[in-house]
Amino acid sequence: MLKERFSSLAEELEYQTNKLHMIVGKYEEAANMLQNIEDDFDRERNDMYDTIYELTNQLKLKNMIIEYMVPPEEYRKYEKIADWSEENNDWVISNPT
């Protein structure tokens, strides 16, 4: 790093003050950027919690409908012949008889 030479203390003070203002500005910019990232993270986390809550409620409702509306022997029959298809990303009934 080059050593600066100054003709007076006032000139050195002005230089150091400007340098300090520049460093403080960079710090504030970095702090604002960090705060924005934290806010984005919190928002995304809350969105995920909301999604989990909604999916849990949907699953509970579907299970309750199955439990009260589909006879147990019919449910077990379809449970045995249903396979998960990675290609379709859905359940497939292989032999509906």
Give the phi and the psi of residue 71 in degrees, each rounded to 5.
Answer: -60, 145
> What are the pLDDT digits (tens) for 23-78?
999 999 999 999 999 999 999 999 999 999 999 999 999 999 999 999 999 888 88
Provide the 3-class DSSP secondary structure of residue 84. Answer: strand
In angstroms, the CA 86 to CA 63 distance is 23
pLDDT score of 4 = 78
pLDDT score of 79 = 86
pLDDT score of 97 = 60
Provide the 3-class DSSP secondary structure of residue 83. Answer: strand
CA angle 30-37-34, nearest 5°?
Answer: 20
Q: Which one-letter amino acid corresponds to residue 63?
A: N
In angstroms, the CA 97 to CA 90 distance is 20
Classify residue 66 as exposed, middle or buried by CB count within 10 Å of its CB (0-12, 13-18, 19+): middle
